[in-house]
A and B are shown apart, each in its own frame.
Chain A
Amino acid sequence: MEEHPLKEEGRSIRSSDPCILVIFGATGDLTARKLIPAVYNIGKEGLLPTNFACVGFARREKSHEQFREEMKNNISEFSRTKPLDEPFYNAFQDKLFYHQSQFDDDDGYKRLKEFLDQLDTQLKTKGNRVFYLSVQPKFFPLIIEKLHKNGLIYDKDDERWSRVIIEKPFGKNLESATNLQENIEQYLDEKQIYRIDHYLGKETVQNLLVFRFTNSIFESTWNSKHIDHVQITVAEDLGIEGRGDFYEEEGLLRDIIQNHMMQLLTLVAMEPPATLDADSIRDEKVKVLQSVRAYEEKDFTESVVRGQYGAGFAKGKEVIGYREEEEVAKDSVRETFAALKLNIDNWRWSGVPFYLRGAKRLPKKVTEIAIVYKKAPGVLFDPKNELETNVLAIRIQPDEGIALKINCKVPGQSNTIQPVKMDFRYGAYFGKSPPEAYERLILDCILGDSTLFARADEVEHSWEIMTPILDYWEKNPPKDFPNYQSGTWGPECADKMMEKDKRKWRIL
C-alpha cells in the first residue's frame, strides 16, 4: 500500500475511513452507559472519522431529537470525562440519529438502508458500516440475516466495508456456538465479525503483552521451572443486580469464565507471537486453548467446584441470597461461584496448574492474575519451610497495577524475615481515568483492527473446555446450594480443592 505523504508512522493520528455506526438495541442499558459515552469520548479525542454518523436502532418509537436528548443525559451521567463539553456535544449530536423498527421487520431494514444511503449522500460516509448488536443473543442470527437480505452486508470484494460487532455470550455451549457460527458465516466472512469481550479493551489487559514481552526479567522466569502455579480471580461484590432472568439462563461459568477469564488465561500463557498483527496473536492464544488438558470424569468433582450465594452482607448491608432474587427460582441450582483447575500440557506450562475463580457476592470487587513462584531453596534461611514465596500480582481492576512480593530482612540483631510488597499503581503514574474499554474496541473496529476481538476458533476451543463441565453439572445438580454466605470468599469446597494440592487461594 502506498504511504500517505502527510502521515508519520507513530506520530500521526490513526485515520479511519468514513462510516456509519448503527447500534441495535439503542434504548438498552449498554448503549446508555457505555456505547454512546464511548463514541462521544472517541469524538472528543478527535479520533472519529471526519465523515461519520451514529444511528440508534431500536423497537421503541422515538424521534431523532428525543434520542439526542436522552443520549445527552446519558453522556452527562456516565461518561468518564465530566462535565459534558457543551460546544462539542452540540456539534456531535448532529451526527446522532434514530431509526425505529422491529428486529424481524423487513420493511424496517429497507427503511434503514434508504436512510443510511441518504446519510451517505449528506455526510459522505461512503457506504461503510459498523453494525453493533447490543441485543440479546437470540436476535444475532435474525438481525444478521435481515441485514444481509436487505443489502446492508457487503461482499468481501466490495470497495465499501461492513463489519458486525457481536456482544457476548457467543452461544451457550459448544453445540449452540457452532450452530450460531455456521448460521452467521452464511452471511458474514470471519473478517467482518468482531466478537467483543470488553476485558480485552482494558488497558491493563493490553499491558499484559507489553509487560511479558518487554521485560526479560519476568519472561525468562515465565515457565514451569520457576512458577508454582497461577491464580486468576474475577470477584464481584455485587449480586446479579436484577438480572435474574439472564442468570438463571446463563450462570457464572458462561457469564465470566468461558470468555473473560479464558481470555486472561490465554494472554498469561501464550507464547510470544511472531508479529503483533491480529492473527499472529490470536493464533498463539488458540494454541494455549488447544493445550488445555481435557477433563476426565474424576476432574468434575476434584478440579471443579461451584457455589451459590446465600444471604449475608455486602458493603455493610444485609443482602438477600440468590434464590431470593427476582426472577430466580426458589430451588435454583444455577451457580454464582465457580472455581476450576486447568492444566496446560505444553513445554512451558507442564506441571503448573492454573486456578480460576469467578464469583458474585464476594467481599470485594477485584480482578487479579497472580503468578505464584516456587520457593527458594530453604538451606540458608528457611530450614522449616516457613517463608513466603514470591508472588507477582497483576491487578486488572480496580486500582490497576502490578505488585511483587519479596522477602526482606527486618532491621535489627535477629535474622527475622518479612515479606514486603513492591507496588506499582497505574493511577499514580498515568492518571485515574484511562480510556474505557469500549472506546478502544469501537475505534479498533472502525479502523478494521481485530486484534482485541475473539476469533471463531478461540470461542470454539473455549467452549470445548467448558461444555463438559456444564453437561456434568446439568446431570448432577448440586445438593448443598446455597453453599456460601454473601460477603465471604466462597464455599468451603473451593478451599478444599486448593488444600488438596497443598495450596491456598489468595486473600485479596
Chain B
Amino acid sequence: MSATVTPDKIEKKLSDIWDELKMTGQMRACLFNLVLFNPLSKRTEYIKKMSQKVLEKFPCRIILVNHDPDRKELETKVSVIPQDDTEGSVVCDFIEITTGTKDLEKSSFLLLPHLLPDLPIYILWADELDLNNPIYQRIKDQNIRTVFDSECTKDLCSFAKSILYIGCDVADLNWDRLESWRNLFVLNFQPKLYLNDLKKAENIKIEYNCCKTDFFSNTRIQALYFQLWLADRFNWEFVSGSKEKMTFKKEDGSSIDFCLRSSEIKDHKPATIISIQIESGEKTFEFVRSEDNFDQVIFKVTTKTTCDIPTNFFIEKSHEGQSLVKEIYYKGTSKHFISMLNKLIKLPKDCVC
C-alpha cells in the first residue's frame, strides 16, 4: 500500500511504516539506490515490473520519477515492498514522484536528499535521452551509472551519439538483452576452425520478432546491434545498403552481406532474435530457436555433403528486468558496446532508423 505524502514528509512516513513493521520480523536492506525516470504511459507498468524484478534479486531503495508533461501538481508517494512473500523477508523503500514538465526542476531537488549515502546510484532512463533534462542534470554528477533503454528512442543515431558523448558509465538494455546470443557465439566459435569460417562468411541472415506490443515498438534494434557487433569485432566496413540489407567490406577486400529479416511471432517477446544463418564457403551455420521451446536454440553446421548432429542450447529465459539485474553485476561500460555504437553512427541514417 502506498501513501501519498507531502515532499517534506517522505522520510518521516517511511520511518513510521518501519516502526509499524518492527514486530513482523521483516528486514530493511539496501544495496544501492535505483532511480527510474519514466514518461507516464502504458509502459509505466513494464518499468514497475522491471524494478520489482531488480528488487527480488537485490534489495535497493527505488525512486521512481514519472513524467506526465501536462500535470499541474507534483505528487509524492511512499511504500515499502517485500522481496518475496515469505515471513521475515527483506523489505525495501519505494518512493514515487509524479511530476509535470513545469515541476521537473523542483523534482530534481527532491531526489537528492533521498539518495542513501555511501551506496551506488543506478539510473534507469526509460525515456528519450535529453541531456538537458533537469533530473538528469541534477544527478549526473553523483557517482552514478546510467542504464538507458534504446527502446524508448525515436532516433537511434542521435541516441548513440549522446551515449558516446556522455562519457560516464552507461549501459543499454537492448544491448544487455543480447547477452545470451553473444555468449552463444563465443561458445560456438571458440574452435579456431569455426572462428575462421565466421571471419570468412559471405552471408549472414538475422531473423527477429517484429511483433509489437504496448511495451515494445522498436523491434529491429537488437538485430541491428547484433549485426553491428559482428561487423565491429571483425573490422568489417559498411559499403552500401538499406535497412533490410547491408554490405560490408572485409579486411581482405572481399564483401559480406547482412540481411535483417522480420517475422511476426505473437506469443513471444518482441524484438528478440529468432534465428541466425551464416554462410561461409561450403559451410552453413544455423542457430534457430526451437519451435517447442523458445528458450532453446538449436545449432547445426552443414555442408553440401555432411550434416553435424545438432546441438541444443538453453539461452536464459527472458523476463522483465533480467537485463537490468545483469547490468548491475557489471562495472564500467562494455567496450564492445561503445565500439559497436561507433560503428552505428557511421551508418547512413536511412539504414538505422
Chain A interface (Cβ < 8 Å from any Cβ of B):
4-8, 10-13, 15, 17, 43-44, 46, 49-51, 87-88, 91, 94, 122-124, 425, 428-431
Contacts and interface: CB of A to CB of B under 8 A. Distances in A.
Given A12-B182, A13-B187, 8 more contacts: A4-B186, A5-B195, A6-B195, A8-B334, A11-B336, A13-B183, A46-B180, A425-B27
7 contacts: A6-B185, A8-B334, A46-B314, A50-B313, A428-B59, A428-B90, A429-B58
Nearest to A85: B314
B27 A50 contact: no
The 3 closest A-B pairs by CB, nearest first: A13-B183, A5-B233, A428-B29
Contacts of B336: 8, 11
Nearest to B57: A431
A51 B31 contact: no
B158 to A, nearest CB: 26
B305 interface: no
A122 B309 contact: yes
B240 interface: no
B296 interface: yes
A94 B312 CA distance: 10
B331 to A, nearest CB: 8
A429 B311 contact: no
A418 B142 CA distance: 37
Contacts of A425: 27
Nearest to B60: A429
B306 interface: no
Interface in B12-52: 27, 29, 31
A84 to B, nearest CB: 14
B109 interface: no
Given A15-B190, A428-B27, A10 B313 contact: no
Interface string B305-319: 000110111111000
B88 to A, nearest CB: 10
Given A91-B312, A91-B314, A430 B58 contact: yes
Contacts of A10: 330-332
A12 to B, nearest CB: 5
B293 interface: yes
Interface in B49-89: 57-59
B59 A15 contact: no
Interface in B150-188: 179-180, 182-183, 185-188
B313 A46 contact: yes
A94 B314 CA distance: 14
A472 B177 CA distance: 62
Contact of B189 (A6, A44, A428): A6
B335 interface: yes
Among A5, A17, A87, A431, find the residue whose CB has the most chain B CB atoms closer than 10 A. Answer: A5
A6 B313 contact: no
A6 B29 contact: no
Contacts, number: 73
A15 B186 contact: yes
A119 B234 CA distance: 34
B186 A7 contact: yes
B334 A50 contact: no
Interface residues of B, number: 39
A8 B182 CA distance: 10
A259 B188 CA distance: 39
B190 A46 contact: no
Given A6-B186, A13-B183, A122-B309, A429 B29 contact: yes
A15 B185 CA distance: 10
A46 B296 CA distance: 11
Contacts of B334: 8, 11
Contact of A15 (B179, B187, B296): B187
A430 B325 CA distance: 12
B314 A88 contact: yes
A6 B194 CA distance: 12
Contacts of A46: 180, 183, 313-316
Contacts of B312: 91, 94
A91 B293 CA distance: 11
B230 to A, nearest CB: 8
Contacts of A17: 190
Contacts of B335: 8
Interface in B319-338: 330-332, 334-336
Contact of A429 (B59, B190, B313): B59
B27 to A, nearest CB: 5
Contacts of A124: 308
A136 to B, nearest CB: 36
A429 B186 CA distance: 31
A245 B292 CA distance: 50
Contacts of B296: 87, 91
A480 B309 CA distance: 67
A421 to B, nearest CB: 14
A124 B193 CA distance: 13
Contacts of A94: 312
Contact of B293 (A12, A49, A51, A87): A87
B59 to A, nearest CB: 6
A9 to B, nearest CB: 8
Nearest to B185: A6
Interface string B189-212: 110000100000000000000000
A4 B292 CA distance: 33
A6 B334 CA distance: 12
A46 B315 CA distance: 7
A318 B183 CA distance: 54
Contacts of B314: 43-44, 46, 88, 91
